[in-house]
Structure 1
Amino acid sequence: MQKDRIEVGVWAWGRGLESWLVDHVVIEGGPAQPDAWAALTDLLGRSWRHAGGAELGLARLAIDTGYETAAVYGWARSVGFALVAPVKGLEGFNRSSPVSGPTFVDATAGGKRLRRGARLWTVATSTFKAETYRFLRLARPTTEELEAGAAFPPGTAHLPGWADTEWIRQLTAEQLVTVRNRRGFAKLEWQKLRERNEALDCRVYARAAAWIAGADRWPEATWADLEAQLGVPSGMDSPAGLIGRSDAGTQGKRRSDWLGRREGWF
C-alpha cells in the first residue's frame, strides 16, 4: 500500500512450498482514490490460466495495514474476511510463529467506530524474508537432470521471463546484518540496500497468505486432491476445467476449494 498506488504480487504455491510468480499488478492511485479500491476489488474476481488449462482464482489475499489503516480495514470488511486477510508486519526473529492471529481490532466505517470490526494477522516479516532468500539460493537441477526425471527441490521459487531487472532488484533489496545496541548486545536486522523493495514486501505477504490459507499444514491427501484437479497425475483425465465452477465437486467426492473461489462459497 503506497500513497499513489497499490501493488499486488500474485504467487502460486505447490507441494513443499515450491512457488511461482504469476503476476505483479500495480494499481495507480492510492487509498484516497475510490477507483483504486474498485480495481483491487475487481482483482479478487480475476483468474489466471494454469499451464494445464485450469482458471485459478485467488485463494487468499493478504493486505498490509501499515499505511492508511482505517481505509484498509474498511475495504477488507466490505469484501469479506474469508478471502482478504489484513496483516501487520513485525520485525525480529523471536516469534513463536511466523503468523499469529487473527485478533479482532476496532475498525472505522463512515466515521463510526466498530468493535470487533476487523480481523488482524501479525506476520514475522524477518522470518519470511530469511526463508525467501534461502529458497532463492537453492540449487536447481540441470536441463539434462530434469529430462531424466529430477524434480526441483522443495521451496524453489520460479520466476517468469517478464520479471525484469528492476523487479529482481526489488526482490533482493535487503540484506541481513548483525547490529549491536548501546549495551553491546548483537541482534540480526534486515536493512535496505535500495529504497524500492515492493517486490520483496509483496512476496512476504503472499507467503503469509499461503500460511493463513493452510498450505504449511495441509496433509498429503489435500495436496493429492489439488494436484488431481490440475491434472498433474499422468494417465488420468484432467478435471482442471471444473476448478472455479459453481458445480465443481457436486458429484462424488467433494473437491477442495483452495484452487479458486467457487460461486457462493465465500
Structure 2
Amino acid sequence: IKAFRNTVLGETWVETGEAPDWQRLADRREAWTPGTVPARGLFLTAGADVQKDRIEVDVWAWGRGLESWLVDHVVIEGGPGDPACWQQLTDLLGRTWTHASGEHLTIARLAIDTGFETSAVYGWARQVGFAQVAPVKGLDGFNRASPVTGPTYVDATVAGKRLRRGARLWSVATATFKAETYRFLRQDRPTAEEVTAGAPFPPGTVHLPSWTDSEWLKQLTAEQLVTVKGKRGFSKLEWQKLRERNEALDCRVYARAAAWIAGADRWSEARWQDLERQLAVETPAADGEPPARPANRPAPRRRTRRSSYMS
C-alpha cells in the first residue's frame, strides 16, 4: 500500500501514530500548583522560539530517566526589534520557580533558536553570556552522529560592530528530538490507582499541567512524520506540519536540547543523587529495597539553586 500510494498515486505516505492526538493528551493533564516544580523534577531548562512579534518560552523540569514536566509558558510581546523584549527575556533567566521541597530553582540552560533575526539572537546571547544561554540551529534528517553537536564559534554583531568568534552555536538534530518527544507522549502510563499505590512512571514520561489549553496541545502535536521520495527516487523520512503554528513543539525540542547540552543524558548516578540531596528528594531504591530518605534537616529557607556546575 505504501509503495502504491507513493509511486502510482503520487501521494505522501503518513506514518500513522507518530503524532499523538491532542485530545488524548488533554485527558492526561495533571493538576499541580501553577508555576511550581513537582518533587521528581530536579533541574530546569527552557526553549525559546523567536517570532516576528514575540518570543515564546516554555520552561521544563527534568528528572531521572528524562521524565519531564511543563512548568511554565511565557509569551514576551514585542519581537526581536524591541529592546524591551530582550530585557524581559534576560529577566527570565534570573527568575525562580518553587520546587515541592521549598527550594527555588532557576533555569540551568536556555536554548534559543537562531533561525529568525540571527544577528539579534547572537547579540543578546553574547551580552548575557553563554554559561546559561545556548543559541541553537536546527538541522533536518535522522542521519546525525549525535542529536546535538558543538559549540562552534560564529561571528556576532553587537551595536553594529561585527565581532569575530562572538557567539557559540549548537547544532540540533530536531528530527531526532521530535521523534523522541512523540515516543514519550505515546507511552502507556500507570492508572491513578496504580500511582497512588506507588507505581512509577516509565522513563521519559511527559507530564502536562491542567492549565495547558487546546491551542498549546495542538501546537505540540502539529507535525507528522512522513515518507517522501526525493528527486533521485530515494525515499526518506521527514517531518511535515499538519497546521501552521507549532511553537510548543519547537520550544520542547529546544528545551530538550538544552538538557542534552547541560549533560543530563550523560550524568552519573552520583550526579543525580547530588541533585536529590540538594532538593531533599528521596533517591529511588534498588529492587526489593526501601527508598533512601534524605537526612533530617531544618525547615527550608528561601534559597536559589543556580546549577552553576551544569555550565
SS in structure 2 at match of 1:39? helix
Higher relative contact order (CA 8 A, sep 6+): 2
Shift of 1:137: 0.6
Indicate conservation of the 8 Å contact 2:68/2:206, yes or no: yes
Q: TM-score, normalised by structure 2?
A: 0.77
Determine the structure 1 residue equivalent to 2:200.
151
Does 1:169 find its partner at 2:215? Answer: no
State the Cα deviation string for residues 47-66 of structure 1 (Å, max 9, x = none): 11112212110000001100
Q: How far did residue 113 of structure 1 move?
A: 1.4
Kept in 2, the 8 Å contact 1:52–1:240? The answer is: no
Report the Cα offset of residue 183 of structure 1. 2.1
| Alignment-derived partner of residue 212 in structure 1 | 261
Q: Does 1:19 align with 2:34?
A: no
2:290 matched residue in structure 1? none
Deviation of residue 175 (structure 1)? 0.4
1:169 Cα shift? 0.3
Q: Which amino acid counterpart does residue 117 of structure 1 have in structure 2?
A: G
Distance, in Å, in 2 between the alignment partners of 1:46 and 1:18 is 23
Partner of 1:236: 295
Tell me what 1:83 maps to: 132
Aligned residues: 251
Query: 1:226 pairs with 263, 266, 275, which one?
Result: 275
Q: CA deviation at 1:110?
A: 1.9
Distance 1:121 1:239 in 2: 42
The structure with the largest alpha-carbon Rg is 2
Q: What stretches of structure 1 of length at least 5 have no aligned partner?
A: 246-258
Residue type of the partner of 2:306?
A: G
Alpha-carbon offset, residue 229 of structure 1: 1.5
Alignment of 1:30 with 2:76, yes or no, is no
Which of structure 1's runs of 4+ aligned residues deviate more than 2 A?
234-245, 259-262
Give me the CA root mean square deviation: 1.8
The answer to whether the 8 Å contact 2:154/2:164 transfers is: yes
Name the CA shift for 1:50/1:107 in 2 (closer, same or farther; >3 Å). same
The code of the aligned residue for 1:91 comes to: D
- Hey, what does 1:252 align to over in structure 2? none
Q: Percent identity?
A: 74
**Displacement of 1:260 after TM fit?**
2.5
- SS at 2:204's partner residue? coil
Decide whether aligned partners of structure 1 residues 224 and 243 sit closer, same or farther in structure 2, where only a CA change above 3 A counts: farther
SS in 2 for 1:206: helix
Match of 2:189 in 1: 140
Per the alignment, residue 179 of structure 1 pairs with 228
Distance change >3 Å, CA 240–CA 108, structure 1 → 2: farther
Structure 1 residue 44: Cα displacement: 0.4
Label 1:36 to 1:226 Cα distance change in 2 as closer, same or farther (>3 A). Answer: same
> In the alignment, what sits opposite 2:156?
107
Question: 1:86-126 CA deviation, whole Å, 9 max, x = no partner?
Answer: 00000100000000000000111122211110000000000
1:119 and 2:168 correspond? yes
Question: Does the 8 Å CA contact 2:277/2:294 hold for their aligned counterparts?
Answer: no
* Distance in 2 separating the partners of 1:102 and 1:71: 18
Alignment of 1:245-260 (within 5 A): 245=304, 259-260=305-306
Q: Deviation at 1:235? A: 5.5
Offset at residue 136 of structure 1 (A): 0.1
**Residue 243 of structure 1: how far off its partner (Å):** 8.1
Residue 192 of structure 1 pairs with residue 241 of structure 2: yes
Change (3 A) 1:240 1:38: farther
- Output the CA distance in 2 between the equivalents of 1:167 and 1:19: 17
Distance 1:124 1:238, change over 3 A: farther
Structure 2 unaligned spans of 5+: 1-49, 283-292
Q: Distance in 2 between matches of 1:54 and 1:132?
A: 28
